[in-house]
A and B are shown apart, each in its own frame.
Chain A
């Protein structure tokens, strides 16, 4: 039995309030004028003041680091995970369960445990690639696996990629062209979803960066919050807003240029 409209609105309202309440509280907090009880725009306008760049230099560096990490992590998803999934789907379907199991593992392992395992690995990573912040993306590539895998797999399951690729090959396309001209356009939605979710996860990651002594948005926010909690909350809100926009875009940008109604 389908729930009535009223029931649906009530459920939506309650869930919406649960999510909205802390966010609204954060917004309200950013306008507070200390303990006076009054409200002010100073905390927001202060971000655009002349000496803001110097005051919040570490924070802006951290934002840059997080964006770089997001880009590299998405690259790892697109270059390693996506082709592997397509290959398994088309050529080695028996390995699907194994791949799924491997990709789901990171969600079952707490970040702190993951770091304990990663610490000695990063000893080697630093020797090979140096200590640049972008190397953290190797760890993030693992943490985003469950989310990216789900997004891509649901798209793979929804499209008959086997028949489409076979049709492409009978029309003289080699594997590269099949991938580029036939499969990727039909997996756009899943690929974008995987990318955006990866970005959102990377922007919100704190534990691994903190324990491996790297600076990213979240570690910097913690640092800033100890001297200026208002700015920390403002940036947390902006990061949330950015992630929210990304997630909304999944539904919109992923649409193909199909026209007319589905038959």
Chain B
């Protein structure tokens, strides 16, 4: 598929993004609690990603925000007004769905016009605004086509234009890229970010792809079992995860046996600062990032003997997994020119970077 570069930007309404707040939102499905008292505040124009594994409640939170799911208790405030009991069609939101949601019996431009038509905007004006929105997503020439004549990426662009043409106060994106191939995903996510920034619209983006969340969002909320485990900028989440779950979910980590001693984690004789809550002395798994491990030579201080378990070429770098003397496997990212063979002996060195740790045994 060839993506057309956008040529025009829809008129931004200064300060059009709304403040969004979830206060103690609880949602139950029978005996299962999908949302266990979510609290979240979003500033106008902010782009927040809800990140977490399947079943963590991220889509439920988004649907609660849209009104497509009712909540059992708590408040949902948009610009300070509680909309928890307001029906979806009166919340003034735009939404892009995971599955293709264009109306198959309408042309592209009719799809984009739909929200304006429901708002009883005059035909000439809605045609003009719909054309402008299509230009914004680079599909100005595709207005007369039907959904089935577009690729997946193009359909999601039209869905984005359709959601934005009404100038909603909040844009909700429910894994809109998950059905697309890798290259289109990256292109479209960049474009979504550019457009939402240009329009200053408050955006909630649900994804299970941590790379996507870190790349696109101002702040990321990591969710587990209906709760927000941590919310922060991508850098904060990556560098200072508050618990092993966040450390493990955001970025790649290796679980290496160690010991907490006086508030530090000792791994193969190296004392590493402990992230998060202080832990009592005892055995733990240290969660070590690949970039905090380096290839070394035998005579270096703290060198750990290891053997190559597997190695993958990732383009600009290579990731190799080594087996340590205790049998655990540690991942290392290194120069592509170092290409170890499986079974090769090597030495590794731990950088003195802070690590998260989870109890062992």
- Residues of A near any B CB (own CB < 8 A): 159-160, 163-164, 166-174, 177, 181-182, 185-186, 256-260, 262-263
Contact = CB atoms under 8 A, between A and B. Distances in A.
A119 B250 CA distance: 70
A166 B68 contact: yes
A177 B97 contact: no
B99 interface: yes
Interface in B77-100: 87-90, 92-95, 97, 99
19 contacts: A160-B99, A160-B101, A166-B68, A167-B97, A167-B159, A169-B68, A170-B88, A170-B94, A171-B89, A171-B114, A171-B162, A172-B89, A172-B118, A173-B118, A177-B118, A181-B114, A256-B104, A260-B148, A260-B149
A262 B288 CA distance: 50
Contacts of B67: 169
B203 to A, nearest CB: 14
Interface string B164-178: 001000001000000
B105 A167 contact: no
B93 A170 contact: yes
Contacts, number: 78
Contacts of B92: 172
Contacts of A256: 104-105
A163 B99 CA distance: 8
B115 interface: yes
Given A258-B104, A260-B149, A263-B149, A172 B166 contact: yes
Contact of B97 (A166, A258, A259, A262): A166
Contact of B103 (A177, A186, A259, A263): A186
B88 to A, nearest CB: 4
Interface of B: 66-68, 87-90, 92-95, 97, 99, 101, 103-105, 114-115, 118-119, 145-146, 148-151, 159, 162-163, 166, 172
Nearest to B105: A185
Contacts of B151: 263
A164 B102 CA distance: 7
Contacts of A172: 89-90, 92, 115, 118-119, 166
A258 B146 contact: yes
B18 to A, nearest CB: 15
Q: Which of B93, B105, B163, B172 has the most CB of A within 10 A?
A: B105
A222 to B, nearest CB: 44
B146 A259 contact: yes
Contacts of B114: 168, 171, 173, 181
Contacts of B89: 169-174
Contact of B88 (A159, A163, A169, A257): A169
Given A170-B89, A173-B118, A163 B101 contact: yes
Contacts of A257: 105
Contact of B66 (A170, A181, A182, A259): A170
Nearest to A166: B68
A140 B345 CA distance: 82
B295 to A, nearest CB: 49
B118 A167 contact: no
Nearest to A174: B89
A171 B101 contact: no
A171 B94 CA distance: 7
A40 to B, nearest CB: 52
Contacts of A182: 103
A164 B111 CA distance: 11
Given A259-B146, A260-B146, A260-B149, A170 B95 contact: yes
A34 B103 CA distance: 61
Nearest to A171: B115
Q: Which of B88, B92, B99, B163 has the most CB of A within 10 A?
A: B88
A160 B103 CA distance: 10
Contacts of B159: 167
Given A169-B89, A171-B118, A172-B89, A263 B104 contact: no
Contacts of B162: 171
Given A170-B94, A171-B166, A172-B119, A262 B148 contact: yes
List of 5 A-B pairs having minimum Cβ-Cβ separation, nearest first = A171-B115, A167-B101, A170-B95, A172-B118, A185-B105
Nearest to A162: B99
A170 B159 CA distance: 12
Contacts of A159: 104
A43 to B, nearest CB: 47
B83 to A, nearest CB: 13
A226 B323 CA distance: 95
Given A170-B66, A170-B89, A172-B115, A164 B103 contact: yes
